[in-house]
Structure 1
């Protein structure tokens, strides 16, 4: 979407709080580049939200917050909390519309939207040379409605839905997925978990802030989905406070047990007693004998998946790559942050 198109769309669809947010950002233009102001705004919000719930990186992120604040004058610093207040108000207005619609029936049209993504493109901050164009929210919403399928049946069968977004931008597609789940009569705060990845730190911060404000359980990764490099990980308050570290581990254990049972059943049908099948059948028999399936996961920094099993999803690959870094911390292996309080 071009800047002119984004401007026209913004004029037609932006609520009063979103329009005031844009004016405040533009008020910095006399002495700062708008891209710098916007990037600092979303990063400061991300740092503040993260430090309120995730103590693992508190000192480093607090120092980064103070470094950003030091770039601005006192009167300029005072505008940043006003901008955050307007962002929150914008989401509150949209949630109020959803509540009004759901009072009598399920919403037909999307009530949420990608507020920061729309603002980012309207201000002309996208990197055209890098092909950075955010998908219009209406398109994201249509795609999510087409892809979600029978949300209720999936939630009943597996407990919750996992959403993987390898190039998340401002998180618009994940917000659209949450919007679709809400329209299907499910509470996305309890029935959806997202793994979001982007190479641009500004996009990572935008996604983290928006998903945090909407209380979406998510792991937001600053990394490269192609080279599998990871530079930082952000856990939303909904992820930490909802105990999603353990929910994801239980889900993985259940998937492994289900796969093992399927292998055993197939071997009985085919009578294909290969060494690999025998090993799988032995593992299942041992699990059944103990009445519980225990997932053995390595604790060393070089191993993040069960022995003999390769990762089958992008999220698992990133979980492995996180363990190969300088810190022994992965999505599944991290001790629940609530123990730090």
Structure 2
């Protein structure tokens, strides 16, 4: 189920394009790379603090989020909703953040930092992993 947010008489679909646009908006002051890192870090801290709250993590979350203006801070939970929407509509596991990272040009091409597309990873796994042999080894090592 895709969640939409009503914005000034037009409805904006919270999806991958929304995430990219929002990161570019957040990146106007700090750079898109820092905005990407801040959003991912704040989302991770939010989840972690929901189950194991620490003062250090909360302080770091507040330090990051408070760098942004209120209208910019409001994008953080909307980006999370958009991420959830993308994962829900996917028929198989996807790396939406990796795709966005590459599409925004945040990889360090000069340092030869490239990511292998998921389709290539699946083909490589199928070519190198013998299912029957792997299952046999797992069963041999099983301790229960």
The TM-score by the shorter chain falls in which range?
0.7 to 0.9
Q: 1:127 to 1:62 in 2, by over 3 A?
A: same
| 2-structure distance, mates of 1:21, 1:83 | 6
1:32 counterpart = 2:30: yes
Equivalent positions of 1:110-125 (< 5 A) are 111-125=92-106
Superposed CA offset, 1:76-97 (max 9, x none): 0000000011011100001xx3
**Structure 2 residue ranges without an equivalent (≥5):** 1-13
Superposed CA offset, 1:123-182 (max 9, x none): 0001122221111121112122233431782586168xxxxxxxxxxxxxxxxxxxxxxx
Shift of 1:27: 2.1
| 2-structure distance, mates of 1:90, 1:78 | 19
| 1-structure distance, mates of 2:66, 2:76 | 13
TM-score (norm 1): 0.35
Name the structure with the higher helix share. 2
RMSD: 2.4
Equivalent positions of 1:167-186 (< 5 A) are none
The equivalent position to 2:64 in structure 1, one of 60, 63, 68, is: 68
**Structure 1 residue ranges without an equivalent (≥5):** 1-15, 98-110, 160-250, 255-341
Superposed CA offset, 1:10-59 (max 9, x none): xxxxxx7212211221222433310110010111111111222235xx22
Alignment size in residue pairs: 129
Corresponding residue number in structure 2 for 1:53: 51
TM-score (norm 2): 0.78
The equivalent position to 2:125 in structure 1, one of 144, 162, 168, is: 144
Q: 1:115 to 1:158 in 2, by over 3 A?
A: farther
Q: 1:35 to 1:158 in 2, by over 3 A?
A: farther
Equivalent positions of 1:59-98 (< 5 A) are 59-94=55-90, 97=91
Question: Does structure 1 conserve the Cα–Cα contact (< 8 Å) formed by 2:27 and 2:34?
Answer: no
Give 1 or 2 for the bigger CA radius of gyration: 1
| 1-structure distance, mates of 2:64, 2:140 | 43
| 2-structure distance, mates of 1:115, 1:66 | 25
Shift of 1:121: 0.6
Q: 1:112 to 1:31 in 2, by over 3 A?
A: same
Corresponding residue number in structure 2 for 1:220: none
